[in-house]
Amino acid sequence: IDLLDIETITDFSMGSLTKINNAINLDVKITDTFPYINYFKTSNYFKPEGIIDISEYKGSLEYLFKGVDLDKLTVVCNEPLPHTSAKYMFAYASGENVEVLNTLFSYMPNVTDFSYMFYDCSNLKTISKFNLSKATKFTSMFYDCTNLTDITIEGTIKITDKDSLIT
């Protein structure tokens, strides 16, 4: 799908796009409606190319970028997000665009649950500028991130249970 001539889309849902695997020239600003990007898919993920602005997003971060290609997205965020859970936020994502991650990390000061956040992100090689100082749950945060070799975490991590960051 080419979305070139469509003005900025606000609050959309892609849950019904079961046979479309990509879109170009995406320009989306989500505020309240969860966009269901790949939420119901288990393979052949929809990989939009373009801009997603989550500056005013109030919906769930859980599964928000499931299966997307991080190298094809520009994520805009200009305000701190109020969310406390980022479970599975990037599960099955491909690509390794660290700038997308850095943008989001700096606007996620309240997240305490990072469980499965990067589940099966096998292309991801590095993560930096990641502040986990408020984190309380890390269960399998980097599960099956087979190429991840460099993680730079800012702040102090307090692990209070036996959760594993890697497996």
Examine the pLDDT at 91 and tell me if it is beyond 90: yes
Mean pLDDT score, 76-84: 91
Burial class of residue 101 in the structure, from the number of CB atoms within 10 Å of its CB (0-12 exposed, 13-18 middle, 19+ buried)? buried
Selection from 9-18, 44-53, 80-89, 97-106 with the highest mean pLDDT: 80-89
pLDDT at residue number 163: 54
Residue 121 makes CB contacts below 8 A (sequence gap 6+) with: 90, 91, 92, 93, 94, 142, 144, 145, 148
pLDDT in tens, 32-69: 777 777 777 777 787 888 888 899 888 889 999 998 89
- CA angle, 6 as apex, 4 and 7 as ends, to 5°? 115
pLDDT at residue number 88: 95
Pairwise pLDDT comparison (23 vs 166), residue with the higher score: 23
Mean pLDDT score, 13-19: 60
pLDDT at residue number 14: 62
β-pair partners for 53: 29, 76
Inter-residue contact 81 to 108 (CB < 8 Å): yes
pLDDT at residue number 100: 83
pLDDT in tens, 113-164: 999 999 999 888 888 878 788 888 888 999 999 999 988 877 777 666 555 5
Tokens coding 93: 């994502």
Pairwise pLDDT comparison (10 vs 125), residue with the higher score: 125
What CA–CA distance (Å, rounded) separates 1 from 21? 9
